Amino acid sequence: MGTALITGAAKRIGRKVALNLAAQGYDVVISYNKSEAEAQKLALEIAKKFSVKCEIFQCDLCDWKQAKNLAQFVRKKFPDWNLLINNASIFNKSKFLTGTDSDLLDNLNLHFLSPLILAKEFAKNPAKNSHIINMLDKNITRFDTSYFHYLLSKKFLAELTKMLAVEIAPEVRVNAVAPGFVLNSIDEKNPSNETRNLIKKIPLQKKGEIKNIWQAIEFLLKDKFVNGQILFIDGGASLNHAG
């Protein structure tokens, strides 16, 4: 299979993806920033369940300079590195006029510059069947200024996905997944009014699950003629700018 680097993989979507890739036979590198305990726990779980190698690497990708160190570590340790999943993310409200310099720089570095640098290092000497998958947000079709810096940086990453799909093909394919409402930890039997209202705005009238995100990634891995595409896994919410 090769080796997969998943950034921000200690928890949530990244954790699920790392486990599933290990189950498929990928060696896995998990990058994390502050979630050391969760990363170590995940690495131990992978080691116990699967006959693959697993490494963890601490870096803060809000500092884009650390992205190159991460890429060099992976390439040196795993010459067959052939899958990069740019998953690391922050999600904070910030407005254009009232947001801080840190709001701008942290989002641009984490969601755009670090993925760009990782992609560049990845594509310099690509292994066979190399593939980059960027994790976006279904709201890239909207202009929600409540999360101005977050959404702007995700829009940049969406455009980077398309440009790289042309620039570094045929050696490397580049695609993306744009999740919708999947991460909220709710009581399914007693959802809050806010949750009910969000679900009402989704055409399929339900929230997604992390497994739906993995199924999209699995499709992209299997169909090697897909390149430069963004899969919206959102129940149709992006079509009516709802959710």
Give, for 173, the enclosing helix (H) or strand (E).
Answer: strand 172-179
The answer on pLDDT for 242 being more than 60 is no
Q: How many domains does the chain have?
A: 1
Torsion angle of alpha carbons 119, 121, 125, 127, nearest 10°?
-50
> What distance in Å separates the CA atoms of residue 112 and residue 99, rounded to the nearest whole number?
18
| Sheet of 130-135, strand order | 54-58, 27-32, 3-6, 81-86, 130-135, 172-179, 230-233
> What distance in Å separates the CA atoms of residue 106 and residue 125, rounded to the nearest whole number?
28
Calculate the CA 155 to chain-centre distance: 14
230-233 and 3-6 as β-strands: parallel, antiparallel, unpaired?
A: unpaired
Q: Are 145 and 96 in contact (CB under 8 A)?
A: yes
Model pLDDT, residue 185: 53
The answer on pLDDT for 190 being more than 80 is no
Q: Are 234 and 203 in contact (CB under 8 A)?
A: no
**pLDDT-based confidence at 201, cuts 50/70/90?**
confident
Domain that holds residue 229: 3-239
CATH classification at residue 14: 3.40.50.720
**Pick from 132, 197, 195: nearest CA to 166:** 132
Buried b (16+ CB within 10 A) or exposed e, 42-57: bbeebeeebebbbbbb
3-state secondary structure 52-79: CCEEEEECCCCCCHHHHHHHHHHHHHCC
The model's pLDDT over 219-237, given as tens digits with 9 standing for 90+, comes to: 999 999 999 999 999 999 9
Residue type, 186: I
Handedness of CA 137, 153, 78, 44 (dihedral sign): negative
Model pLDDT, residue 92: 93
The model's pLDDT over 65-84, given as tens digits with 9 standing for 90+, comes to: 999 999 999 999 999 999 99
pTM: 0.94
The answer on pLDDT for 187 being more than 60 is no
The model's pLDDT over 126-170, given as tens digits with 9 standing for 90+, comes to: 999 999 999 999 999 999 899 999 999 999 999 999 999 999 999
State the residue for tokens 């942290």.
106
